[in-house]
Amino acid sequence: MITVLAVVLTALLSVTALLALARLYRGPSLLDRVIAADMLLATMIAAVGAEAAINRHATTLPVLVVLSLLGFVGSVSLVRFAVREPA
C-alpha cells in the first residue's frame, strides 16, 4: 500500500517539477520566472517532506527549514530587484 502511494506521489511531484521547469524556461516575464522558481522549490520541499514521511524519519527537518528560508529570501530579493527596475 505504501509502495503504491510512493509511486503515485513521485509521479505527481515529477509532473509538477517538469511543468515548473517549462514555465521557468518559457516565462515571458521576470515575474513568471520567479513564480516558477518558487513552485519548483515548493515541489522540492514537498518531495523531501514526503520522503521523510514515507520512511518515518525526521533527520531531513533541517533540510526542509533551509529550503524554506532559501525560497523566502530568494523571492523577496528578486521581487525587490524587479521593483527597482524601470518599466
Q: How many CB atoms lie within 10 A of CB 25?
A: 9
Give tens-digit pLDDT for 20-32: 999 999 988 888 8
8 vs 86 pLDDT, higher one = 8
Where does the pLDDT of residue 83 fall: very low under 50, low under 70, confident under 90, or very high at 90 and above? confident
Please state the rounded mean pLDDT for residues 62-86: 84
Per-residue pLDDT, 85: 59
Residue 83: closest CA among 20, 45, 34, 12: 34
Provide the pLDDT for residue 80: 83
